[in-house]
Amino acid sequence: MKKTILYDGTCNFCNTSVQFIINRDPKSSFLFASLQGKTGKEMLKKYKIKEEIDSIVLIVDEQAYTKSDAVLRICSDLTSPWKYMSVLQALPRFMRDTVYELIAKNRYRWFGKQESCMIPKPDVRKRFLD
């Protein structure tokens, strides 16, 4: 089963996170699309998510997950020790999302921003939908 991650393609932290996931996803379970691209915008519309969303989005089995739910579900499919972070789902969502929102709100200031989305390396290009 393929899972799709929608991410902010102009955010340095988000692009680094995508590379992190790729390097720890031995089954190539995840596909990727930037929120700014055609596919990302179509998927946001399909799942009735506002285009201005300030979150990573994970789509699995026609269900969309955002914020800490998305991150922790992604972690559950990564190699050890990262998959064990999924146990944090036991914490109340408001606690998890508060930490997520703090990072999301400051990501450009802390990590920088690019003018355009990254161009994936040829060996992983097939996992990108745009």
Domain with 51, as residue range(s), is 3-127
Domain count within the chain = 1
Residue range 44-82, pLDDT digits in tens? 999 999 988 889 999 999 999 999 999 999 999 999 999
Q: What is the pTM of this model?
A: 0.89
Enumerate residue ranges in the chain where pLDDT < 70: 1, 115-120
Res 93: pLDDT: 94
Distance CA 79, CA 119 (A): 25
- The total of other beta-carbon atoms located within 10 Å of residue 112's CB is 11
